[in-house]
Amino acid sequence: MRPTVNLRGFDVFQEFLNAKAQTRMVEDLRAVVARAPLFSPLTPYGKPMSVRMTSAGTLGWYADKSGYRYVDRHPGGAKWPPIPASVLDVWSAVSGVDRAPDCCLINFYGPGARMGMHQDRDEADFSWPVVSISLGDQALFRIGNTTRGGSTTSIWLSSGDVVVMGGAARLTYHGVDRTKPGTSRLLPDGGRINLTLRVAR
C-alpha cells in the first residue's frame, strides 16, 4: 500500500480506516481507558498539557516536572493495558518493520486542545518509525524541520487517516495547531483521538 500524500518525508495514508474499522477501534480504546483512565500530564515547567492522555503496551509515555519519559505503569499504579489488535494491525500494514511497538500513546483533544511543535525523541532508537492514527474531528497538522523555526507545511487530518514518520523525517518537528469541531460523528460528544505507536526501547 502506498501513501496518498508525502509531506516533508511524512507518509499520509488518507481514509486508511473505513467507518466500520474506526468504530471498532474506538470500542477497543474505551476498554483501554476503562483500565487506564485519561490524565493531564504536567510539562517540566509545571503547566498542564491541554490534551488528556493515557497509553497501552508494555510502556507508556509520561511527563511531569522531572521531564518526559516512558514508564511501565499508569499514574494510578496499574500496568498499562495491552495494545488492541485493531491498532496493531495498522502498524503491521504501514510501518514497514517486523518489530511490534511497545507503546501506544493515546491523546484526546477536547475543545481548545492543541499540541505545540515538538520532536518525538524520548525513544532509545530513532531508526524505528512512529505511526499516527487520527479518529474523530479533523486536526490541522503542522510539519516543520529537523531544527526549530523555518517554514512549515500544514494538512488537515481526518478521521481514519494514518501518518508514518520515519527515516530522515523521524526527528522532524511537528504539532497540532487546532481541531475543527463537528467534522466527525465518530465520537458522540465530539473531540479527536490521536494514537501514536512507537518502539520506545
Domain ranges across the chain: 5-198
Q: What is the pLDDT of residue 109?
A: 98
Q: Please report, for residues 41, 71, 117, 166, the alpha-carbon distance to residue 123 in angstroms, rounded to integers and kept in the order given.
A: 18, 12, 17, 13
Are 18 and 161 spatial neighbours (Cβ–Cβ below 8 Å)? no
Task: Return the higher-pLDDT residue of 60 and 47.
Answer: 60
C-alpha distances in Å from residue 74, one per residue of 39, 77, 102, 196: 9, 5, 15, 17
Assess whether pLDDT exceeds 90 at residue 46: no
Please give the DSSP secondary-structure letter assigned to residue 171.
T
5-198: in CATH 2.60.120.590: yes
Query: Mean of the pLDDT values across residues 66-93?
Result: 96
**DSSP state, 133?**
E
Looking at residue 125, its pLDDT comes to: 96
How much is the average pLDDT of 35-41? 96
pLDDT in tens, 81-109: 999 999 999 999 999 999 999 999 999 99
Cell triple for 7: 509531506
